[in-house]
Chains A and B, each alone.
Chain A
């Protein structure tokens, strides 16, 4: 993991918003991927929703949990959807 941190913007929706107790936050993180970022967030916030059931978007595009993150990225973890 690189020791350089980068500023990330995270938004929460639905079950994650309720668990996190907020709808967005900004943080300086060294997490290289969304998977690492979610683990880091889980250590600080009561996010009990399992990472294995999440999808993730970065800058309003679906990506994978192992896509590299860069400074300024807007990250949204997507719980199972239920439109319609």
Chain B
């Protein structure tokens, strides 16, 4: 519960409201008016609130703390008006079964409240001067920020210009697990201006040995939310957004569109392909990592560069790859995800800074059992349905048993059906009838969206690329995708 009041806070009365027979822990934080600030004496404070929004935000902050720490009961009251030295400005009490949740929830409420509650305070000094805290615009945040990044900006590859570039950068981290935790932590520390975390999961005890943003107090909390709160503590100067959702075909395009670079820290091929294809369609670099026991691999996929994720696994359905890899839920040596996640952060920072990095056509393999590393060039498949070149020698268009490739008779028999003309880069759109949509040949994300709504016929000039794409989508379970030449 969250309240605003203009009358003095009575700690004992508030405590009495929190007593619960099931609560073995009670943590109270009192924010009090002190007699100095930034080396200047203070005589009293004046608090002003935007009541309507403060009540809504305060309630949201309390609700979020209770969701992050299941079983915690929060009471928070904030004062407004004129307060003398020693008076309580904010009172936060948390009752819970055990101490960890009570301490953590209390900390979360005060930190989030200072970040987003629309309340302002004016400091009055003995000489009669007064000023709104945090609102003096002269050279205030710059010095603290500069010192935070001092050891990094001292690098000639970064410098103040690079640091400014990082401050305006936006990075999407999909999967906040063993890879996403260290990747996001280093990006936050480096000062990437906006980080967004996507994960539908909740924190489990068996995550903690490798998912370094979380502690036992976070068990049961939504991963994206808990990680965002932890990253804001690490670097209060950046913006961190939490999306408590799976990355899926319906949100892929919108999520990727808002960011400069995407980090894939997920653990299944279905999602990996979705992320990869959405990045390629939107022209965003993708920094991807995967692990297996003591080994990991890193791939950086640049937009438009041949040798994509589909080239690595030509024609292999994601379910088959997941079964073979057994990544999700499998045994894993924690330092491997830590190392690969940090490598993802490193490549992301270098891409943002424009620092020459590794050869992005290569897959980098790391083995922490024997300490070896290996770089292997990814072979671009000329007939790859996603990154292959049009007109390159691919498989012949042959009838196949799946029924994916339509003859003229079969097409006619299908009746009215949604048709998509695939466009190669630079290809002039064919003159097609009004009910035919054109989609860039590499935009698998859009094709998935369309295929999910019902039968879909893909066309291309030769029929080769449309056939390959139809097979690929069918392998994902979209079984009413067909192909033909136009």
A82 — which chain B residues lie within 8 A by C-beta?
114, 119-121, 132-135
Quick one: CB contact mask for B133-165 with A, threshold 8 Å, 1 for yes?
111010000000000000000000000000000
Cα of A50 to Cα of B119 in the assembled complex, Å: 19
Cα of A20 to Cα of B183 in the assembled complex, Å: 44
Cα of A39 to Cα of B132 in the assembled complex, Å: 22
Q: Is B31 part of the contact surface with A, judged by Cβ < 8 Å?
A: yes
Closest CB of chain A to B252's CB: distance in Å?
22
By the criterion CB–CB under 8 Å, are A79 and B120 in contact? yes
By the criterion CB–CB under 8 Å, are B31 and A14 in contact? no
By the criterion CB–CB under 8 Å, are A53 and B120 in contact? no
If A15-B120, A50-B137, A57-B53 touch, does A83 touch B132 (CB 8 Å cutoff)? no
Q: Is B90 part of the contact surface with A, judged by Cβ < 8 Å?
A: yes
**A81 touches which one: B31, B56, B117 (CB < 8 A)?**
B117
By the criterion CB–CB under 8 Å, are B31 and A79 in contact? no
Cα of A76 to Cα of B50 in the assembled complex, Å: 9
B49 — which chain A residues lie within 8 A by C-beta?
13
**A53 touches which one: B47, B53, B119, B137 (CB < 8 A)?**
B137
A49 — which chain B residues lie within 8 A by C-beta?
135, 137
Q: Is A2 part of the contact surface with B, judged by Cβ < 8 Å?
A: no
If A14-B48, A57-B118, A78-B118 touch, does A83 touch B90 (CB 8 Å cutoff)? yes
Q: Is A6 part of the contact surface with B, judged by Cβ < 8 Å?
A: no
Quick one: CB contact mask for B103-138 with A, threshold 8 Å, 1 for yes?
000000010011111111110000000001111010
- Residues facing A in B312-354 (CB within 8 A) are none
A81 — which chain B residues lie within 8 A by C-beta?
114-120, 134
B89 — which chain A residues lie within 8 A by C-beta?
83-84
Tell me the nearest residue of chain A to B56, going by C-beta.
A60
**B132 touches which one: A11, A50, A62, A79 (CB < 8 A)?**
A79
Q: Is B396 part of the contact surface with A, judged by Cβ < 8 Å?
A: no
By the criterion CB–CB under 8 Å, are A76 and B132 in contact? no
Total chain A interface residues with beta-carbon distance under 8 A: 20
Closest CB of chain A to B218's CB: distance in Å?
23
Quick one: CB contact mask for B45-63 with A, threshold 8 Å, 1 for yes?
0011110110011000000
Q: Is B69 part of the contact surface with A, judged by Cβ < 8 Å?
A: no
Cα of A60 to Cα of B49 in the assembled complex, Å: 13
Quick one: CB contact mask for A1-29 with B, threshold 8 Å, 1 for yes?
00000000001011101000000000000
Cα of A60 to Cα of B54 in the assembled complex, Å: 9
By the criterion CB–CB under 8 Å, are A76 and B110 in contact? no
A61 — which chain B residues lie within 8 A by C-beta?
53, 56
Cα of A81 to Cα of B121 in the assembled complex, Å: 8
Q: Is B78 part of the contact surface with A, judged by Cβ < 8 Å?
A: yes
**A13 touches which one: B50, B57, B114 (CB < 8 A)?**
B50
Cα of A37 to Cα of B137 in the assembled complex, Å: 21
If A82-B119, A84-B89 touch, does A14 touch B135 (CB 8 Å cutoff)? yes
If A49-B135, A53-B137, A57-B53 touch, does A14 touch B122 (CB 8 Å cutoff)? yes
Cα of A84 to Cα of B120 in the assembled complex, Å: 9
Closest CB of chain A to B87's CB: distance in Å?
13
Cα of A11 to Cα of B48 in the assembled complex, Å: 13
By the criterion CB–CB under 8 Å, are B120 and A14 in contact? yes
Closest CB of chain B to A60's CB: distance in Å?
5
Cα of A80 to Cα of B120 in the assembled complex, Å: 8
By the criterion CB–CB under 8 Å, are B135 and A79 in contact? yes
B113 — which chain A residues lie within 8 A by C-beta?
83-84
Cα of A79 to Cα of B121 in the assembled complex, Å: 11
A13 — which chain B residues lie within 8 A by C-beta?
48-50, 118, 120
B31 — which chain A residues lie within 8 A by C-beta?
84
Cα of A83 to Cα of B79 in the assembled complex, Å: 9
Closest CB of chain B to A81's CB: distance in Å?
6
- Residues facing B in A33-75 (CB within 8 A) are 49-50, 53, 57, 60-62
**B53 touches which one: A14, A50, A76, A79 (CB < 8 A)?**
A76
A17 — which chain B residues lie within 8 A by C-beta?
48
Closest CB of chain B to A35's CB: distance in Å?
17
A60 — which chain B residues lie within 8 A by C-beta?
52-53, 56
Cα of A44 to Cα of B216 in the assembled complex, Å: 55
Cα of A80 to Cα of B118 in the assembled complex, Å: 8
Q: Determine which residue in A15, A50, A57 has the highest number of CB atoms from chain B within 10 A of its CB, and name it.
A: A15
- Residues facing A in B25-68 (CB within 8 A) are 31, 47-50, 52-53, 56-57
Cα of A22 to Cα of B117 in the assembled complex, Å: 22
A interface residue numbers (CB < 8 A to B):
11, 13-15, 17, 49-50, 53, 57, 60-62, 76, 78-84
> What are 18 of the A-B contact pairs (CB < 8 Å)?
A13-B50, A14-B48, A14-B122, A15-B132, A49-B137, A57-B50, A57-B118, A62-B57, A62-B116, A76-B50, A76-B118, A79-B132, A81-B114, A81-B115, A82-B132, A83-B47, A83-B114, A83-B117
Other than the given A13-B50, A62-B116, 17 more pairs (CB < 8 A) read: A13-B49, A49-B137, A57-B53, A62-B53, A62-B57, A76-B50, A76-B53, A76-B118, A79-B134, A81-B115, A81-B120, A82-B119, A82-B132, A83-B78, A83-B89, A83-B117, A84-B78
* A-B pairs with lowest CB-CB distance, top 8: A14-B120, A83-B119, A80-B134, A82-B133, A83-B117, A15-B132, A15-B135, A84-B31
